[in-house]
């Protein structure tokens, strides 16, 4: 059966967003989403911390049944004291949403001839290291700059053959699988989210990597690692600095991402006591820091 929806977009100041969202839902909105109008700075929350503030200038987008009268809807919002002068609306016609979604994801190549290939694509001819992975509920399919930075680092490291590797905050397991593809001898993926662990195990099995061990923090195998990669957020990286340093053997390699460019100084300062750090690599507004564990930690 063919479907269509009415999409209504309303600019709003941050202080007006909660009331506008409530009003749209009360008027029958099927969904409501909020995005930035003129500020592209990402907003993330960290477990245990307050939710981040909204952008100063927002765009609230709501979907309604196609039979909804947009002029009557806007008149009701106006009567409630909500600004609707710059509102826009359009009808979204039915289309093949799955096909449209799939067109966004094509094979992607990273350093070391490492490829991320969705299941609906054939691997490119001659590709050496192939990871079959579809977008899903756990973060990490290679499309985000932070994941791409980590994949390029692993692909160009040249120190993975036979190495013991830890993917700290493994999400989908993409970095753990990449390490296995690139020749690592033992790979462990760790995540605090049990559902992410299930997804990572499934992805590892799909990629015929049965030796990858995916664990929660309390089940992390003992000992140190030759390579540790952590694509998480700044605050966890700061809190875990001593812990992660203790997991890397002297002479071992560390890769950190999930950082905005302006957060590099704080992250570098936290890890400098243990690691000789390289110049950060930037991609869009994101950053990656690599380092090598010192044989002796300065006093």
Report pLDDT digits (tens) over 26-57. Answer: 999 988 888 887 765 555 545 455 556 677 88
Residues of the chain with CATH 3.30.70.120: 4-94
b/e sequence 140-161, b meaning 16+ C-beta within 10 Å: bbbebebbbbbbbbbbebebbe
Backbone φ, ψ for residue 260 (5° rounding)? -80, 155
The pTM assigned to this predicted structure is 0.71
Q: What is the mean pLDDT of residues 269-297?
A: 93
- What is the length of the chain? 299
Distance of CA 138 to the CA centre of its chain: 8
User: What does the block give as tokens for 87?
Assistant: 């509102």
Name, in order, each residue with C-beta under 8 angstroms of 131's C-beta and a sequence gap of 6 or more. Answer: 114, 115, 116, 117, 142, 174, 177, 178, 181, 207
Distance of CA 200 to the CA centre of its chain: 14
- The segment(s) of the chain belonging to CATH 3.40.50.150 are 102-293
d(CA 260, CA 165): 25
What pLDDT is recorded for position 53?
66
Question: Does residue 197 register a pLDDT over 50?
Answer: yes
For the domain spanning 4-94, the CATH number is 3.30.70.120
Check whether 79 has a pLDDT greater than 70.
yes
What is the architecture of the domain spanning 102-293? 3-Layer(aba) Sandwich (3.40)
d(CA 26, CA 1): 27
Q: Is the pLDDT of residue 113 over 70?
A: yes
């Amino acid at each position: 059966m063919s479907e269509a929806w009415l999409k209504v977009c309303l600019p709003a100041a941050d202080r007006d967003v909660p009331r506008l969202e409530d009003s749209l839902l009360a008027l029958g909105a099927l969904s409501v989403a909020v995005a930035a109008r003129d500020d592209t700075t990402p907003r993330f929350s960290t477990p245990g911390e307050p939710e981040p503030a909204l952008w100063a200038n927002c765009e609230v987008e709501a979907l309604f049944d196609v039979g909804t009268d947009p002029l009557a809807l806007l008149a009701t919002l106006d009567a409630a004291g909500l600004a609707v002068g710059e509102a826009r609306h359009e009808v979204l016609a039915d289309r093949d949403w799955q096909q449209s979604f799939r067109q966004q994801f094509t094979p992607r190549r990273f350093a070391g001839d490492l490829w991320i290939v969705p299941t609906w694509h054939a691997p490119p001819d001659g590709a050496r290291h192939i990871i079959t992975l579809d977008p899903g509920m756990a973060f990490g399919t290679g499309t985000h700059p932070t994941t791409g930075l980590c994949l390029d680092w692993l692909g160009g490291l040249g120190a993975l053959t036979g190495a013991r590797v830890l993917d700290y905050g493994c999400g989908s397991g993409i970095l753990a699988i990449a390490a296995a593809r690139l020749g690592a001898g033992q790979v462990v993926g760790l995540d605090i989210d049990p559902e992410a662990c299930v997804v990572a195990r499934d992805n590892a099995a799909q990629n015929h990597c049965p030796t990858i061990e995916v664990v929660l923090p309390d089940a992390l195998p003992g000992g140190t690692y030759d390579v540790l990669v952590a694509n998480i957020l700044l605050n966890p990286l700061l809190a875990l600095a001593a812990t992660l340093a203790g997991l890397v053997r002297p002479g071992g390699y560390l890769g950190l991402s999930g950082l905005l460019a302006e957060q590099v100084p704080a992250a570098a300062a936290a890890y400098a006591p243990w690691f000789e750090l390289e110049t950060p690599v930037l991609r869009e507004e994101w950053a990656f820091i690599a380092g090598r564990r010192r044989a002796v930690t300065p006093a």
